[in-house]
């Protein structure tokens, strides 16, 4: 397949500019798909190996090009333009500021849980990000259909703790910068309920989650969850538009496939992780990342130890805040974190039910090439086998209820 078939003319021009800066004027390119089957649902991921003909020592630079779907039908149903602009803003503006404050504070081991960013293109319909290919450095996906154990979950929880600590340090020490982040991250995926595909899919998923409960055997639980299941847009709007001062830069899309793990010397214990897909990022309560990730990606043992994971999160957050020169007791006392979980955890539970639905879908819809959106949004499919889905969703809702968190 030629490069013209992989990229549009504008995308190739933008990538060529990047190559001049990073490689040279004299190169050869090898294009291939950048993901294994069913690793990606929201864009075209292209792997490009660029060989510098002028070098003999390490001549190849490995890139990942993330390109927005070109389907006009899909773009009319979900806010693709907004979510690519958010991700470009994160990589081009927010992440460099996170690096800058750590350098200013003399952090010896800077926190950088995302790929190196080279360049972007944000022309309408041709959005593209050029990133480092982390798989070439030994990072790998985990199977989306297998929940993660406590060790994996704890590693990511601590990543989120550091991300949130950086958010709070910037709010504390550079309030104008924090305000600019918040202003430029408003047009996020769940911030615009005018997109019909989004509203309809949300309701379909929450009603499916309700079906995981028995209205007789689970009467109290069913009653607790039923209002949210039937009115997800109303509840989410109120919480997402909240003016809570405890908001942080949140990843939101905490699916298993949005993490790459590294294992040293064939160890079964992960040594590091990279966080991918920042398209749904927004300013939100720290509770959302915590509940979304643990309740969707964790196995039953990890979910049962949610309290321990929250403690690990808070210890890491507090320690990093102190390194950054801010007082955790003033910024986010532990009792306030617990209130955040109680109030905003439902947003995370909602996201968890969406993700579990995708984990238990044997074959994910091909939104990049399937134009059946015109006859009905292709995400509106039903599970053929609900057994594992029902068990996992029931466990999540049940544990959420035991914690005493609010359903609306």
Separation of alpha carbons 66 and 15, rounded Å = 11
* Residues 282-330 pLDDT 10s: 999 999 999 999 999 999 999 999 999 999 999 999 999 999 999 999 9
Q: Where are the strands (E) in 258-298, listed by range? A: 259-262, 272-275, 282-284
* Region 386-394 average pLDDT: 96
Residues across the chain = 408
Question: Confidence class of residue 279 from pLDDT cuts 50, 70 and 90?
Answer: very high
Separation of alpha carbons 275 and 213, rounded Å = 32
Q: What is the pLDDT of residue 370?
A: 58
**Secondary structure of residue 140 in the 3-state scheme:** strand
pLDDT(78) > 80? no
Separation of alpha carbons 123 and 120, rounded Å = 10
pLDDT(38) > 50? yes
pLDDT(353) > 50? yes
User: Structure tokens of 42?
Assistant: 């929201």
* Residues 125-162 pLDDT 10s: 999 999 999 999 999 999 999 999 999 999 999 999 99
88 and 120 in contact (C-beta within 8 Å)? yes
Q: How many helices (H) and strands (E) does the chain have?
A: 16, 10
Q: What is the pLDDT of residue 248?
A: 96
* Residues 181-191 pLDDT 10s: 999 998 666 66
Q: Which of 290, 286, 293, 184 is nearest to 244 (CA)?
A: 286
Type and span of the H or E element at 121: strand 117-121
Question: Confidence class of residue 2 from pLDDT cuts 50, 70 and 90?
Answer: very low
| Distant-in-sequence, close-in-space partners of 114: CB < 8 Å, separation ≥ 6 | 91, 95, 274, 275, 276, 278
Place of tokens 């090009």: 65
* Region 173-179 average pLDDT: 97
Query: What's the pTM value of the predicted model, to 2 decimals?
Result: 0.93
Q: What is the pLDDT of residue 403?
A: 97
Least trusted range by pLDDT, from 211-215, 262-266, 313-317: 262-266
Sorted by where each begins, the domain ranges of the chain are 3-67, 72-115+134-402
* More reliable by pLDDT, 76 or 164: 164
* Region 73-90 average pLDDT: 85
**Secondary structure of residue 17 in the 3-state scheme:** helix
Distance linking the first and last C-alpha atoms of the chain: 51
Q: Which CATH number is associated with domain 72-115+134-402? A: 3.90.1200
Query: Residue 311: how many CB atoms within 10 A of its CB?
Result: 12
Angle between helices 306-323 and 334-359 (to 10 degrees): 120
Q: Where are the strands (E) in 133-242, listed by range? A: 139-140
Least trusted range by pLDDT, from 15-29, 79-93, 365-379: 365-379
Q: How far is CA 376 from CA 195, 201, 205, 232, 391, in A?
A: 14, 11, 15, 20, 28
* Region 42-46 average pLDDT: 80
Q: In the chain, what percentage of residues exceed pLDDT 90?
A: 75
What φ, ψ does residue 35 adopt, rounded to 5°? -135, 155
Q: What is the pLDDT of residue 40?
A: 52
Q: Which of 364, 352, 75 is nearest to 205 (CA)?
A: 352
* Region 91-100 average pLDDT: 98
* More reliable by pLDDT, 56 or 218: 218
């Amino acid at each position: 397949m030629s490069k013209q078939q992989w990229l549009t003319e504008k995308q190739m021009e933008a990538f060529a500019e990047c190559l001049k800066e990073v490689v040279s004027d004299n190169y050869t390119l090898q294009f291939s798909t950048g993901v294994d089957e069913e690793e990606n649902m929201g864009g075209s991921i292209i792997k490009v190996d660029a060989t510098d003909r002028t070098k003999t020592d390490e001549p190849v630079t490995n890139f990942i090009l993330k390109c927005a779907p070109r389907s006009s039908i899909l773009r009319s149903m979900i806010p693709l333009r907004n979510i690519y602009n958010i991700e470009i803003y994160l990589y081009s503006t927010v992440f460099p500021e996170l690096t800058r404050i750590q350098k200013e504070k003399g952090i010896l081991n800077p926190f950088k849980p995302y790929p190196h960013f080279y360049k972007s293109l944000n022309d309408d319909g041709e959005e593209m990000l050029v990133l480092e290919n982390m798989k070439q450095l030994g990072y790998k996906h985990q199977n989306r259909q297998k929940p993660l154990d406590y060790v994996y979950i704890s590693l990511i929880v601590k990543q989120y703790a550091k991300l949130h600590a950086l958010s709070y340090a910037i709010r504390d020490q550079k309030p104008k910068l924090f305000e600019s982040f918040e202003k430029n991250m408003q047009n996020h995926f769940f911030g615009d309920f005018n997109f019909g595909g989004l509203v309809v899919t949300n309701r379909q998923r929450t009603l499916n989650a309700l079906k995981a409960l028995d209205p007789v055997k689970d009467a109290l639980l069913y009653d607790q969850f039923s209002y949210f299941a039937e009115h997800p847009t109303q509840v989410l709007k109120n919480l997402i538009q909240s003016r809570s001062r405890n908001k942080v830069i949140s990843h939101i899309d905490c699916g298993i496939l949005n993490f790459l793990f590294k294992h040293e010397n064939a160890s079964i214990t992960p040594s590091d992780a990279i966080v991918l897909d920042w398209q749904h990022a927004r300013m939100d309560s720290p509770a959302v990342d915590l509940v979304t990730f643990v309740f969707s990606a964790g196995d039953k043992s990890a979910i049962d130890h949610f309290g321990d994971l929250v403690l690990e999160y808070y210890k890491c957050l507090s320690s990093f805040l102190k390194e950054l020169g801010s007082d955790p007791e003033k910024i986010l006392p532990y009792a306030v974190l617990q209130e955040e979980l109680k109030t905003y955890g439902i947003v995370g539970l909602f996201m968890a039910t969406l993700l579990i639905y995708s984990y238990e879908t044997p074959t994910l819809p091909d939104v990049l090439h399937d134009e059946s959106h015109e006859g009905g949004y292709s995400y509106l499919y039903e599970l053929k086998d609900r057994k594992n889905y029902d068990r996992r969703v029931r466990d999540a809702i049940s544990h959420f209820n035991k914690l005493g968190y609010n359903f609306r």
